[in-house]
Structure 1
Amino acid sequence: MAFPTTYAHFCEILVLGILAVHVAAKECVDNVEGKDYTGTINTTKNGLKCKDWSNTGSNMTLDTQRLLADQHNYCRNPDSDPFGPWCYTTDDDTFWETCDIPFCVLDLQDAENRIQYC
């Protein structure tokens, strides 16, 4: 089963003679670990609401705290968990849980259509 790739914005922008591509948050992962996931999914695979990363009360390293400081309550994979993006939950019985993030699918026709409208 293929999942569509969802981008919030995709445009080519010419800046000072250098082609820059602006791609906003991806709502999908390229691999199982999903370390590059930057989307806005904020519920776990079982539908639990994610807790804000700045309000976890956990023993995160200082580097991890800085990395996640502006990540709201979105699913992330700061520790390279092999099961993919996860979050701390607001549920008292479940401290943390992985999130069900769809895999990205490369659709060249869709990408060409998006470029035409930029």
Structure 2
Amino acid sequence: MEDIEDPRITHDSARIEKVRELLVTREELDHLVQIFKIFGDPSRLKIINALIEDELCVHEIAELMEMSQPAVSHQLRQLKQAHVVNSRRAGKHIFYSLLDEHVIQIFRICQEHLSEG
């Protein structure tokens, strides 16, 4: 069946233009896609979940996640490049924590959304 536009429906060009002006830029959109990609991996989400609770070193994260240390290091590198985690050295150990409260908020909002579902 062919989709025929109803001639009684008119589009408000001014409203469309107003919305167009409020949309994020292509550059902002690309950054948002990268953030959502970071949150799209179960291993990274598990690490984020653990770091919400406490600052941890790679070995502690590896034990919690039941992953190898190199696999955890790889995920942490990606999280650090995406400006999600921060690191600090204490002797021979490097401890990781979440960079800011926004990551926790995103995680909690998603949890809340699921519980309402």
TM-score range, shorter chain: under 0.3
TM-score by length of 2: 0.24
TM-score by length of 1: 0.24
The structure whose RCO (Cα within 8 Å, separation 6+) is larger is 1
Higher helix share: 2
